[in-house]
Every structure is written in structure tokens, then in C-alpha cells.
Amino acid sequence: RRQAAEEMAEEVEGTVHEMMEPALALLPAATTVADAVAFLRAHATPQQITYLYVTGVDDRLIGMIVFRDLLLAEPEETLAEVMLPDPFAIPVDMEVTDAIKAALHRHYPVYPVVDSEQHVVGVIRGWRLFERQAMEISAQSGQMVGVDKEERLATTFWSAFRMRHPWLQVNLLTAFLAGFVVSMFEGTISQIVALAAFLPILAGQSGNTGCQALAITLRGITLGDIEKFPVAGLVRKEVMLGAMNGLFTGVVAGLAMWWTASRGGNADAMLLGLVIVLAMVGSCMMSGMFGVLVPITLRRFGADPATASSIFLTTGTDIAGMGLMLFLATTLVL
Amino acid sequence: RRQAAEEMAEEVEGTVHEMMEPALALLPAATTVADAVAFLRAHATPQQITYLYVTGVDDRLIGMIVFRDLLLAEPEETLAEVMLPDPFAIPVDMEVTDAIKAALHRHYPVYPVVDSEQHVVGVIRGWRLFERQAMEISAQSGQMVGVDKEERLATTFWSAFRMRHPWLQVNLLTAFLAGFVVSMFEGTISQIVALAAFLPILAGQSGNTGCQALAITLRGITLGDIEKFPVAGLVRKEVMLGAMNGLFTGVVAGLAMWWTASRGGNADAMLLGLVIVLAMVGSCMMSGMFGVLVPITLRRFGADPATASSIFLTTGTDIAGMGLMLFLATTLVL
């Protein structure tokens, strides 16, 4: 099992070479249609041949033949006359992810694979590229929280532990940063204990708001939409959405704080409610911004834009959000 | 734009009917190969024809013809002799998601679509089904945090707000439950203020651990692996992973608590550190369990297993985790 998982990882990272099948039908351009049909008739496994590939000088790929065209051609015509010239071919050393992108808008059932001198070295079935793409995308929500993209249900306990644990330690380290910010305001919390219950509420709320922005940005990268939108516009939209979402959830949370605090006899209950509203608006605006910038920054540094993105996002939103709430409470209320 | 988004939503929810193209080549079984070739030659757009479909009594679909077989057949043979009998066909009223599943292991470039009486009413290109599948999967990480699966970068501000906001209010409501649990222990927090900083750390840590389990379970559902594993085994694995991950991150967090508390002159610093370790182990075990059970439960109730799964998950882990920590601190330390 471990070996299978490792092989899979290699494949995902690797070039198209591993996904190739042998090219079964390479014919010189001077071959006649009648001879091509004879070749097919004599072939052991004609049902595995989807296209014929036509070679020219030095055996270089110069064309491809669709059986439909062969059927409509005259027996004495040459393949050079019947072929579709200069067919799209995938270089054998191309990364799988790039091959998927290249094939995405072509939709051929089979692609020829060529070396640097345009010799056909194999073929790749289009569904294999699509299948790989589905596999990659289905890994994304895990990658966001530090799951390796090779992990699946069949992965063993120890492999899963080894792959997931390091990111949990990173998450803890970043949580300490937020915890450190909170501990700087221990004096405030000891005077207004009600704030303690609102720390995880604020963190959870801005974290979820930010993850919404993050997910939409990642989806835009996956589907290629992102190129059509300037980053500044995306940030503006998500910051505004954060402001609106923070305002309407903040008012509800603020009312809850006001009710809690006034029931506890706190004279500043109204002001504390206001602190919650402001903190919620501010932290959701920031989390919207992080939601766009984290995956874009990861990608700019050559990393997978999903990698631990949720961990990086919540670090920022936790520090900013809880820090803001406690700072506002300290300066406005105390 | 709004209309486009609405149309897309309809398509995703709908049947294969919307994805169909006209079937261009339907021929009776008695047609000779020579006549079929003549039919193709006379056709206005032969390059759009991938297979010929063969009809029998009452125009019902009884076979399909691959051009390669037509090429190798004798001109006087009938299509009935050359065809692949009983071809796989997609019912016109089938849900798109079911059609994707049906096509997933067949990999044909084109599928015939039939009505209830086996009349061919159109064809669907395989890449369209794959493309739709990629679209569906890429929506998953957003769905987990309450993003509608039709939302993309191009979705307008107000549409995005309208679709995302309700789940944020749900998230807030569930956060209140956790906040309520915390507020029950206000007496404990006011005596040991250092606990306040560890509330978001614990919530964030068990939330991330649970989201790892959730993502892997969702991936298993998406890729169809889930059927091979009994739920009890998956729960056991994730609970054990939670225990291990909770232990090793818990020890680090416990040391941090011990250091923080003893620096603050707390005589129970060691015991507080132990409380953190135990709370981390317990809450990560529970979050592992929720990570498996939330999507499986959603699916069992007929919902999309990803829908707001992260919101439901963190509700459970927050209540259980912070409640456990404060309960342990109250009973062991005070």
C-alpha cells in the first residue's frame, strides 16, 4: 500500500511519460489509403487504434488521420492528402498539470506524445488527463488544511499521521501568535470576563468568512477564471463582502454581548456591544483580503495555491480579529 | 451576469437534456456499409459525427458503429453485421451527476441519449461530462464553508452576499452555543485568565484536525473509494489519528501553558499544562470522529455531503473541546 501511494505521488508530480501508452499506428506520408486499410486489417488489436499518425522526413510527426476521412477517401490517395497536418502533440517531458491545461480545450480522445525531435513516442488518452485533473481538484479542500494531495482513504494510519502532523504543528505555532496577542490583554479580560466567550466566536466567524473568499479565489485559479479579473478588484469585492457580512453578523453578536453584559450588571454593556460590532466588521474585512491574497501569494512563490492556505489565512484573521476586539475593548471601555 | 449564473445553476441541478447535441447519424440496421459511407459523404458536417447509431424495430437504438469497423467491413455487409450491439446509452431524464458516474469508467468520446422507448434523442460528448465533474468538484471546498456551488469569481457582489450570508448567520448561531458553554465557566476563567488565550488555540487546533478528516472523507466520497471502507473503520482511524495528533500538539501546547502559568506565578502551572494536553487529545479525537460522521450523515439525509460541513464540524468540536478544557480546569485545578 505504501509503495502504491508513493508511486501515485511520483506520477502526480511527474511528467506525461508515466501516463503514456505505445503508439500503435505510425505510417509514412506516402502510404496509400488502401495500404493503410490493409495495415489496420492485419493489426492484432485494431480496436485500440483511435487515430493513425503520419510521419515525414526523419520519421517526424507531420499529420494525423481520422478514420472517417479514410473512409471517405479514394483507395489510391496518399495519407499526405488525407491527413490533418501539424496535429497538436504533447512533449514527453511536459508536466502532467501542464498537459492537462493544454488538453483542456481540445477534447481529443487521444493525444500523440513526441520527443524533442517530433518523433512519436506514445499516446495519451484524454480521459486519463481528465481523470488526473479530477483527482487533483478533489485534493484541494484537504490541501487547504495541510493534507497531502496523495492522501486517500486507503492511506495507512502512519503515512497519514506523518503527512498531516507537521502542518498541525505549524498551525499550533501560528495559533500561539494569536494566543500571545490575547495574553497581552489579560488585564482587560480579567476585568471583562464576558470577552473570553467572544474570542472563539470572533475567530470562528472571521475564519469562516475568510475561507469563503479563499475557496472562491482557489476555484477561480482552478477553473482559469482568475486571469480575467485584476487582483485589486477581487480584493475590493471580498473586503466589501467582509464588511457587509461582518456588519450583519456583528450586529447579532453585538446584541448578544449587550444582553450578556447587561444581564451581568456591566454598566458598559452598550459600549461592549459596539466593540463586538466594530471588531466583527474589521476582522471580516481583513479575512476577506487574506482570502484573496493568501492563494495568490502562494502561487506567485511557485507553491500550490491551496497548500495550507486555510492555516495561513486563520493565522492572519485570528491575530488581527482578536487583537482588534481586545484593543477596542481596552481603549473604548476601560 | 445574474441570468448566466442562474442558468448555470439550473444546468448543474438538471438533467442531461441541457447538455445534449443533436444525433446526426441514425441509420436502420438493414443499411449496407456502402450506403452508410454514401450517407456520410453526402452529410453537411461529417466531422461532427463520431459514431453511427443503428436503429431496429420502431426506430429503437440497437447498436453503434465505429468508423474503424466500417473501414474494415465489406461494402455489401449490413450495419447489423458490423455494429456493436446494445450500446450503453444515457436516459434523457437522468440527473447530470448520475450521468457523470455512469460515464466515468467508460471513457467514450460520445454517448447516445435515449428516451424511455430507446429512441435516440441526441448525443452527449464525454468531455462535457468530465468538464461538469471538474466544475462540481472545484465547488467543494467552498460548499464546506457555506459557499453556493454556483458561485464563481464573476458572480456579482449582491448575489455572493445573498448566497453566503445565511450560512454565516448559521455559523454565528452555532458559535453562540460554544460561547454559551464557555460563559458557563466564567468563574473559572476569571480565576485563571491564562485559559482565555488557550480557548481559540484549542478551537483552531481541533478544528483544523477535524477538517483534515473531513476533507479526506469527502474526497473518498467524490472518488467513490468510500464504498470500500466500513464507516466504523474510518471513524476508528480518524479518532486514533486525532489522539496521536492531539497528543503531540497537546504536549507542545501544554508546555506553553505551563511556561505561561508559572511565569505568571500560578502554583498549579503543571496541572494546567496537563489540562491542556488532555483537552487537546480529547477534542482532536472528537473532531476526527465528526470529520467522518458529518459528511456521511449529510449524505444519508440526501444532502450534498460537503454542504456547510465545516460549519457543522466546528460547532461540535468547539463545544466539545472548549467545554472539556474548562471542565477539566474547573475540576482538576480549582
Q: What is the mean pLDDT of residues B148-154?
A: 93
B8 pLDDT band, cuts 50/70/90, is very low
**Residue of B130, B134, B216 with shortest CB distance to A147:** B216
| Count of Cβ atoms closer than 10 Å to residue B88 Cβ | 12
CATH superfamily, with its number, for domain A166-333: SLC41 divalent cation transporters, integral membrane domain (1.10.357.20)
| Count of Cβ atoms closer than 10 Å to residue A68 Cβ | 18
Least-confidence region, from A106-120, A251-265, A280-294, B98-112: B98-112
Give A149-185 pLDDT, tens digit per residue.
Answer: 999 999 999 999 999 999 999 999 999 999 999 999 9
**Does pLDDT of B2 surpass 80?**
no
pLDDT of residue B64: 96
Cβ distance A223 to B178 less than 8 Å, yes or no, reads no
Q: Is A192 exposed, middle or buried (0-12, 13-18, 19+ CB in 10 A)?
A: buried
Residues of B in contact with A157 (CB under 8 A): 237, 240-241
Q: Give dist(CA A35, CA B209) in Å, integer.
A: 63
Residues of chain A with CATH 3.10.580.10: 2-137
Mutate to test the interface with B, among A19, A64, A141 (most CBs of B within 10 A): A141
B133 pLDDT band, cuts 50/70/90, is confident
Give B72-117 pLDDT, tens digit per residue.
Answer: 999 999 999 999 999 999 999 888 888 888 887 788 899 999 999 9
pLDDT of residue B7: 47
A323 pLDDT band, cuts 50/70/90, is very high
pLDDT of residue B13: 55
A10 pLDDT band, cuts 50/70/90, is very low
Q: Is A224 left (phi over 0), alpha (psi -120 to 50) or beta?
A: left
**Residue of A161, A186, A204 with shortest CB distance to B241:** A161
Residues of chain B with CATH 3.10.580.10: 21-130
Q: Which residues contact B197 (CB under 8 A, 6 or more apart)?
A: A179, A180, A182, A183, A186, B260
| Count of Cβ atoms closer than 10 Å to residue A142 Cβ | 25
Residues of chain B with CATH 1.10.357.20: 164-333
**Residue of A169, A212, A244 with shortest CB distance to B146:** A212
The grid coordinates of residue B61 equal 437504438
Cβ distance A179 to B200 less than 8 Å, yes or no, reads yes
Q: What is the mean pLDDT of residues B11-32?
A: 84
**Percentage above 70 pLDDT, chain B:** 96
Q: Which listed CATH number (1.10.150.20, 1.10.357.20, 3.20.20.70, 3.90.870.10) goes with B164-333? A: 1.10.357.20
Q: Which listed CATH number (2.60.40.290, 3.30.70.1250, 3.10.580.10, 3.30.300.30) goes with B21-130? A: 3.10.580.10
Chain mean pLDDT for chain A: 91
**Does pLDDT of A302 surpass 50?**
yes
pLDDT of residue B334: 84
A13 pLDDT band, cuts 50/70/90, is low
**Does pLDDT of A2 surpass 50?**
no
| Count of Cβ atoms closer than 10 Å to residue A7 Cβ | 13
**Topology of domain A2-137, CATH:** CBS-domain (3.10.580)
Residues of chain A with CATH 1.10.357.20: 166-333
Give A40-98 pLDDT, tens digit per residue.
Answer: 999 999 889 999 999 999 999 999 999 999 999 999 999 999 999 999 999 998 888 88
Residue A92 to chain B, least CA–CA distance (Å):
23
Nearest residue to A177 (alpha-carbon basis) of A279, A275, A321:
A321
**Percentage above 70 pLDDT, chain A:** 96
